[in-house]
Amino acid sequence: MTTHNHHHPQEIPGGPIPTEDKVLETGASLIQDFQPVKQLCAHLNAFHTYADEPGRYVETNHYCAHLTEDVRQCILYDSPGPNARLIGIEYMITPKLYASLPAAERKLWHSHVYEVKSGMLIMPGPTTVPGAQQVWEAAETQEMKHVIGLYGKVYHLWQTDRGDALPLGEPKLMTSFTADDQFDFEKAVGDRDKRFGCDWRRKKELREGIEVPQIHPDADAAWKRRNSM
């Protein structure tokens, strides 16, 4: 199974950014108004797995914005750092919109129930500010009450987990995990938690009271195909 090691990122081709470009971009940033990215309101972290190769996974940082009450859109990066690589996109919709889609389209979308209830999905927040962690955990748990019912459609453009130095090939449809035995949860999520200063076990406990919605039978199609083989 291939995973992405965040501590040893692949070398990206090309030299240092020229001073002229830095000057021009700094000037542009002072004058231009970056409205689309200013709408970003949440940073989520979880793991995606390849729809055509369930079990092969990538840790993904989502930076999300609401388009409407029923539609969210997220830019996906391989890390939360300043030089993070943009590796994909995800759209999230409410159950009523999902149910309105054609059956073939619904099979491209995944549920978020397991991500939320297992403690895998997090909103990275303060870990060292006295008193801030409890407040943040309450806010995070409230957000999870909304996310648990959403359906997501994800495409990754850059297969960093196999060592690609550039975004090569066609976009890859991704999906989510839906059960404990689908990958080495404790190692992958535990390593992630160490970097973010959190604990999935505590997240899971805090979310025990979140109601589990009924998952549409067309969602999470990749796992159903694998299990039927």
What are the pLDDT tens digits along the chain (229 aa)? 444 444 445 677 776 656 655 545 555 556 666 677 777 678 999 999 999 999 999 999 999 999 999 999 999 999 999 889 999 999 999 999 999 999 999 999 999 999 999 999 999 987 666 678 888 889 999 999 999 999 999 999 999 999 999 999 999 999 999 999 999 999 999 999 999 999 999 999 999 999 999 999 999 999 988 776 6
Domain that holds residue 196: 34-228
pLDDT score at 39: 75
pLDDT score at 37: 72
**Is residue 70 in a domain?**
yes
**Is residue 140 in a domain?**
yes
pLDDT score at 135: 86
- Token digits for 60? 């993904």
**Is residue 18 in a domain?**
no
Residues written for the chain: 229
Place of tokens 């997501």: 152
- Token digits for 73? 């859109």
Tell me the torsion sign for CA atoms 40, 42, 43, 46. negative
Number of domains forming the structure of the chain: 1
Provide the 3-class DSSP secondary structure of residue 41: coil
**Is residue 152 in a domain?**
yes
Residue ranges with strand state E in 67-208: 71-77, 86-93, 110-111, 151-156, 172-175
pLDDT score at 13: 72
pLDDT score at 99: 97
**Is residue 202 in a domain?**
yes
pLDDT score at 8: 42
**Are 200 and 193 within 8 A, CB to CB?**
yes
What is the end-to-end Cα distance of the chain in Å, rounded?
19
**Is residue 145 in a domain?**
yes
Q: Based on the number of CB atoms within 10 Å of its own CB, is 210 exposed (0-12), middle (13-18) or buried (19 or more)?
A: middle
pLDDT score at 45: 96
**Is residue 28 in a domain?**
no
**Is residue 2 in a domain?**
no
